[in-house]
Amino acid sequence: MKDRSISVNFFTSIWILILASFLIQPIFVYTLSTSYYWNLQEVGIPDAWMYSQGSSEITVAIIDSGVDFTHPDLQNSRWENPGEIPNNGWDDDKNGYIDDYVGWDFQDNDNNPSPPLPPVIGSKHGTFIAGLIAADDDDDIFVGVAPSVKIMSLRFFRPDLSFFVSDWPKLVGAINYAVEQGALIINLSLQANGIPPNEVYEAIQNAYRAGVIIVGVTGNNKDYVTYPGNYSEVIAVSATTSSQVIADFSAPGSQNEICAPGDDVYSITGYNSSVVLGSGTSYATPLVSGSVALILSLNPLLTTEEIRMILHESCVDLGEEGKDLVYGYGLLNITSALERVVTDFNTSSVTVSSTSSSTNSSPFNKMESDLVVLGIAYALLLSIVILLVIKKEIIKS
């Protein structure tokens, strides 16, 4: 006859495992939150949101591979052309683009600036960048630096994330469109192998003179700052790691103005609800673009020179003292930058609607609460599995 008794040591071990599953839940939550959002924490999120989470009156133009606004975290971030009636076949605002209600695809010359389908290797790039700037955490998956601002999608890249010499006029058109349609910031996460034609530089200069902030990459070639980041009108951004050292792919140079996390960072792709990993100066640049959007949300009257000064003086100095070829003026510090805007510049007469929150009610803390729930669910699932093991052992004995 089988012995149906279970040893005391066995039950003790089981209950220790159940207890341990609940005890490691905070570690589980902390690991997830710090791995997904370490780059935001590195530059001052969520503390910066005490001042602003952005304003819907501030638009960031992303000239890239297209943005997939069907993702739940981006559905509220899409810029819409107030002068255009969608899908009526007319150029209502007489800007030369028919039905450009949500931007323009300059690569294919149509009114659908979404990534091409089926998805290819370069399709996620623009959506990844949009997520870092303005994902609003509606479905508790991810959140960007400035979740309340608007994103204008202007597709420029070919499906494989390349562009040819023949595509330069398309970039010129995209820059001009962004300026004409009221974007205050242009994110250029792109790099050229050589020097662009004069027409590109003229478009950059015109945008700069119009007061548009242009943020670009230093580049991923390790040797020198690429164009258009090498233009003095562009804020050139290099990429750092989670250890606050320069990423091994990030290019040094005198035009290197500021650095931000860009190595092994997470964002959304749009084709599903997953959060994916990416590396590159392309993914450091949107943190600066989002920061400028927060600054302008507090005070849209600031000049380009004032905004650059605020960014420079609020940075965390890394590397050699002062501005250097590797880190520029230092690591982006959004909280310090917004503090400067509030204390050193008059915002009392500014009428822009800027959304702010306490650190206890911010999207970042909401995500941490969601992770707590996920951690508890994990612990309960583990406990159920252990209890099933107990039942099986009892039956066997």
Please name the residue ranges forming H helices in the chain: 8-23, 25-42, 124-134, 168-180, 198-209, 285-298, 304-314, 334-344, 363-396
* Residue 349 token pair: 């007469």
Asked whether residue 143 falls in the same domain as residue 4, the answer is no
**What pLDDT is recorded for position 15?**
57
Mean pLDDT lowest for which of 135-139, 175-179, 291-295?
135-139
What is the pLDDT averaged over residues 235-241?
Answer: 98
**What pLDDT is recorded for position 217?**
98
Asked whether residue 149 falls in the same domain as residue 171, the answer is yes
> What is the rounded average pLDDT for all residues in the chain?
86
- Residue 397: band (very low, low, confident or very high) from pLDDT cuts 50, 70, 90: low
- Residue 126's nearest CA partner among 4, 269, 327 is 269
Asked whether residue 139 falls in the same domain as residue 199, the answer is yes
Asked whether residue 164 falls in the same domain as residue 229, the answer is yes
Distance from chain centroid for Cα 152: 14
Q: Which one has a higher pLDDT value, 289 or 268?
A: 289
Share of the chain above pLDDT 90, in %: 69
Q: Of 114-118, 184-188, 384-388, which has the strongest mean pLDDT?
A: 184-188
Asked whether residue 42 falls in the same domain as residue 99, the answer is no
Rounded to whole angstroms, the Cα distance separating 206 from 231 reads 13
Asked whether residue 318 falls in the same domain as residue 392, the answer is no
Rounded to whole angstroms, the Cα distance separating 273 from 64 reads 21
Q: Which one has a higher pLDDT value, 2 or 202?
A: 202
Is 338 within 8 Å of 295 (Cβ atoms)? yes
Asked whether residue 31 falls in the same domain as residue 169, the answer is no
The 10s digit of each residue's pLDDT in 183-231 is: 999 999 999 989 999 999 999 999 999 999 999 999 998 889 999 999 9
Phi, psi of 166 (to 5 degrees): -70, -10
Asked whether residue 24 falls in the same domain as residue 147, the answer is no
Asked whether residue 15 falls in the same domain as residue 103, the answer is no
Rounded to whole angstroms, the Cα distance separating 313 from 306 reads 11
Asked whether residue 366 falls in the same domain as residue 352, the answer is no
**What pLDDT is recorded for position 327?**
97
pLDDT at 13 over 60: no
Number of structural domains in the chain: 2
What is the pLDDT averaged over residues 124-148?
Answer: 88
Handedness of CA 82, 86, 90, 96 (dihedral sign): positive
**What pLDDT is recorded for position 145?**
96
In CATH, what number is assigned to the domain containing residue 310? 3.40.50.200
What is the pLDDT averaged over residues 93-122?
Answer: 92
Largest CA distance in the chain: 93
pLDDT at 109 over 50: yes
Asked whether residue 38 falls in the same domain as residue 74, the answer is no
Asked whether residue 251 falls in the same domain as residue 354, the answer is yes
- Residue 28: band (very low, low, confident or very high) from pLDDT cuts 50, 70, 90: very low
Q: Which residue segment(s) compose the domain that 159 sits in? A: 53-358
Predicted TM-score of the model (pTM) = 0.84
pLDDT at 6 over 60: no
Rounded to whole angstroms, the Cα distance separating 157 from 190 reads 9
Q: Phi-psi region for residue 72, left (φ > 0), alpha (ψ -120 to 50) or beta?
A: alpha
